[in-house]
Structure 1
Amino acid sequence: MTDTQQTAEYIARDERWGAHNYHPLPVVISEAEGAWVTDVDGRRYLDFLSGYSALNFGHRNRRLVDAAHQQLDRLTLTSRAFHNDQFGLFCEELAALTGTEMVLTMNTGAEAVESAIKVARKWAYEVKGVETDRAEIIVATNNFHGRTTTIVSFSDDPAAHDNYGPFTPGFVTVPYGDAEAVRAAIGPNTAAVLMEPIQGEAGVIVPPAGFWSDVRRACDENNVLLIADEIQSGLARTGTLFALDHEGVRADLYTLGKALGGGIVPISAVVGRSDVLGVLKPGQHGSTFGGYPVACAVGRAVVDLLSTGEFQQRAKELGEHLHAGLRALEGKGISAVRGRGLWAGVDIDPRAKTGREVSMLLRDRGVLCKETHERTLRMAPPLVIEREEIDQALAALAEALGE
């Protein structure tokens, strides 16, 4: 595929005026619906990334768009200086869906993680009795929780970490998937264990069976909070509401974002125990847009979509089909496939091409996905995708690998 002059002009403008903190594929999208997007030249592509799981319910889902329109016609923002008629309903309905007791609303996933860190530390000092400024949080190797200064302080990815110091102390890193290492790292100052149930940016890494049960037990035995970052893995992506549900494990706090706003508005949340989130008192934490009416209205519609279980079931059944098709390509340009539900990390054989090269070949065949690191494709199609469309993407991948 050759880029047209129109596409080249849009990209040149992005590169001239936008900071170069992303390396997008050279495609300029102007319209989208469901699992499909259209570029400025009218070419259609199957979206196999879903905005890193922000578009679980597809582009411009009609129920979500209608909820946004209806709210835009009534009220957009009050700040939390006043009550509005959407906030409490959203919190109540999200708590009921997730089986939790309290909701703290923010805007972005990174803000939710930052909020969970603050809450865990405050709880450690005021409830557990940890000495002031000595609280520790256990995290995992190859983690990704956001881009703020505190969060990148405990990243071991050089691209996210290097040259942003001085860094925030108070984090202890252990190998991901090693429950004994988690247990060994717990000490009298440990406030929480913060990890992704499935690591997304690292390449959709699934921990060994039993890992989360062991970590939950270690937390219970030592009065330590378990914080699950379900910003990418949650809200039906893996075939259950939470990825932790696959092991029947409950966290004390969950961080949510991305799909919570339906790909329309940014909204995130920390949900969990009221005795933990309850350590926050008026004036101690906040956000002007956190829990604003438009986001709450869309979030309520998202909760309604998830309450039927339809999307969880679609992710489970179609995910099995996707993974079977990907595994059939192992040894044919793919060295490994990981993941759950409609979420897959696909390692490109080192003897073949790089992840970006395969992404470009897929683009030329009408499928959009993106590499993570050098040789892994991260695939996460919208949960509204059809089986035939998955087959179309698999055929395109087989053709790209064979080129």
Structure 2
Amino acid sequence: MTASADLYSRQKAAVAAGVGTRAIFAKNAQNAELWDVDGKRFIDFAAGIAVNNTGHRHPAVMRAVADQAQQFTHTCFHVAPYEGYVRLAERLNRIAPTGHDNRTMLVTTGAEAVENAVKIARAYTKRPGVIAFSGAFHGRTMLGMALTGKVMPYKRNFGPFPAEIYHAPFPTPFLGVSTEEAIASLERLFAADIDPERIAAFIVEPVQGEGGFNISPNEFLVRLREIADRHGIVLIADEVQAGMARTGKMFGFEHSGVKPDLVTMAKGLAGGFPLSAVTGKSEIMNAAHAGGLGGTYAGNPLSVAAANAVLDVIGDEQLCERATEIGRRITDRLTSLASRQGMERIGDVRGLGAMVAFELVEDRQTKTAAPAITNRIVAEAEARGLILLSCGTRLNVIRLLPPLTIEWDILSEGLDILEASVEAAFSASLSPVAA
């Protein structure tokens, strides 16, 4: 029995079945490479789901955490605050794209950041309602699930969910939903279900993560900002997956020029250590009463040290520019692959910076989703030593999230494996046995 097989057997006997995993049991990792307990090497195009933007174990991040561990690991910021938290808040206040004087609070997970952003928006507006969008993912807590616009695997059997949460269509040009239709549907929601004067916040991702890497059209965000201003609604940018240089700018919203009121961030913020933040306009952030925000582990000192190092690395190594080049190389390869005869099941290639995906369909005319071929590509890639992730409300999108520090030769090797995996999966799907 291999070490992986042994661990898989132990996992089945010890871990709840609802915790979905892959059969890759990590032993060690460095930058964009990971080795399992059997010594098999993988190129990592998942980066812990966009967490390791600075790669596995970046030396600057590891040094910062080791130095902090020599001082203290936990005091609870509410009990004995520390300089690292304050310094990180100062830095996030400077870079968050609200166009105003900002304030920051730190918590631990993306879902916590989202929930606190909603709490702050409600405290500021004195309104209950929140509007999210189809295909959105905002976390696995009860409020996070309520905001999420994707049933499987996140919402099935877990309701009822909190009240006063509404969903409007997200513009998805590939499926024929335009910005105009999305805005018209939002206006119909106001007319039929909820008075806009009862809405505390819109929450929107600049690039949907679990929803399939659907990019918010600039015009959609512009119109959303106009509607928010007209009705006194707080605009929350959920930058949990798109933020921290992933899209070629520090935050995905910056591509549109639209300025949100609040920004949530997590994942890539602390280079593999659990940390999240809400940063936004001071007037809004200060609306909650003293003691109303926070948590025991909120702003853990080790994670804060990691985050301060991550911000240094993003600047020192020009990771925004690097994300743009990574995205260009990936998109060029995928576009070339999709143009070849026999590759018609690649229905769409899309992305922003190093946040790139391709959607699998049965044919480009009907655009019928092809989740089976999607799963086959992921499995083929894993067998060949490449870690991929699928996503999308129709379970038919493969997303590519390599570390922004990935070596160019490793990126090319990974793309070679990806291309071979697509070819093999397509070939297998056409064979008599597969049919």
**TM superposition shift of 1:120:** 0.8
Q: Give a deviation string over 1:351-378, Cα, whole Å, max 9, x none.
A: 7752222111111222111222532212
TM-score for both structures, normalised by structure 1: 0.92
Alignment partners' CA distance in 1, 2:279 and 2:35: 36
Q: Is residue 102–residue 279 contact of structure 2 (8 Å, CA) maintained in 1?
A: yes
Alignment partners' CA distance in 1, 2:138 and 2:17: 21
What residue in structure 2 maps to residue 364 of structure 1?
383
**TM superposition shift of 1:179:** 3.0
Are positions 1:232 and 2:236 aligned together?
no
Q: Is residue 120–residue 276 contact of structure 1 (8 Å, CA) maintained in 2?
A: yes
What residue in structure 2 maps to residue 306 of structure 1?
314
Q: Give a deviation string over 1:267-310, Cα, whole Å, max 9, x none.
A: 10000101001012222222011122222211111122234470
Q: Is residue 138–residue 185 contact of structure 1 (8 Å, CA) maintained in 2?
A: no
Alignment partners' CA distance in 2, 1:213 and 1:402: 40
Three-state SS of the structure 1 residue aligned to 2:83 is coil
Three-state SS of the structure 2 residue aligned to 1:102 is strand
**TM superposition shift of 1:349:** 3.7
Are positions 1:143 and 2:136 aligned together?
yes
Are positions 1:47 and 2:44 aligned together?
yes
Are positions 1:242 and 2:256 aligned together?
no
What residue in structure 2 maps to residue 173 of structure 1?
167
What residue in structure 1 maps to residue 122 of structure 2?
121
Q: Is residue 97–residue 303 contact of structure 1 (8 Å, CA) maintained in 2?
A: no
Q: Is residue 110–residue 148 contact of structure 1 (8 Å, CA) maintained in 2?
A: yes
Q: Is residue 94–residue 303 contact of structure 1 (8 Å, CA) maintained in 2?
A: no
Residue number among 157, 162, 167 corresponding to 1:163 in the alignment: 157
What residue in structure 1 maps to residue 423 of structure 2?
402
Alignment partners' CA distance in 1, 2:404 and 2:315: 15
Three-state SS of the structure 2 residue aligned to 1:64 is helix
> Percent of pairs identical after alignment?
30
Are positions 1:5 and 2:6 aligned together?
no
Are positions 1:220 and 2:218 aligned together?
no
Alignment of 1:285-304 (within 5 A): 285-304=293-312
Alignment partners' CA distance in 2, 1:307 and 1:278: 29
What residue in structure 2 maps to residue 381 of structure 1?
402
Q: Is residue 209–residue 391 contact of structure 2 (8 Å, CA) maintained in 1?
A: no
Residue number among 324, 329, 335 corresponding to 2:337 in the alignment: 329
CA RMSD in angstroms, aligned pairs only: 1.8
Three-state SS of the structure 2 residue aligned to 1:228 is strand
Q: Is residue 37–residue 47 contact of structure 1 (8 Å, CA) maintained in 2?
A: yes
**TM superposition shift of 1:197:** 1.0
How many residues align? The count is 391
**TM superposition shift of 1:185:** 4.1
Q: Is residue 97–residue 307 contact of structure 1 (8 Å, CA) maintained in 2?
A: no
What residue in structure 2 maps to residue 346 of structure 1?
358
Structure 1 residues 325 and 336: CA distance shift in structure 2, 3 A = same
What is the letter of the counterpart of residue 348 of structure 1?
L
Three-state SS of the structure 2 residue aligned to 1:250 is coil
Residue number among 349, 355, 358 corresponding to 2:374 in the alignment: 355
Alignment partners' CA distance in 2, 1:242 and 1:200: 14
Are positions 1:81 and 2:82 aligned together?
no
**TM superposition shift of 1:396:** 1.3
Three-state SS of the structure 2 residue aligned to 1:161 is coil
The runs of 5 or more residues in structure 2 that have no matched partner are 172-181, 191-195, 364-369, 425-435
Q: Is residue 391–residue 399 contact of structure 2 (8 Å, CA) maintained in 1?
A: yes
Q: Is residue 132–residue 168 contact of structure 2 (8 Å, CA) maintained in 1?
A: yes
Q: Is residue 356–residue 370 contact of structure 1 (8 Å, CA) maintained in 2?
A: no
Residue number among 403, 407, 413 corresponding to 1:392 in the alignment: 413
TM-score for both structures, normalised by structure 2: 0.86
What is the letter of the counterpart of residue 328 of structure 1?
S
The runs of 5 or more residues in structure 1 that have no matched partner are none
What is the letter of the counterpart of residue 117 of structure 2?
A
Alignment of 1:205-216 (within 5 A): 205-216=214-225
**TM superposition shift of 1:317:** 1.3
Alignment partners' CA distance in 1, 2:293 and 2:62: 30
Q: Is residue 350–residue 375 contact of structure 1 (8 Å, CA) maintained in 2?
A: no
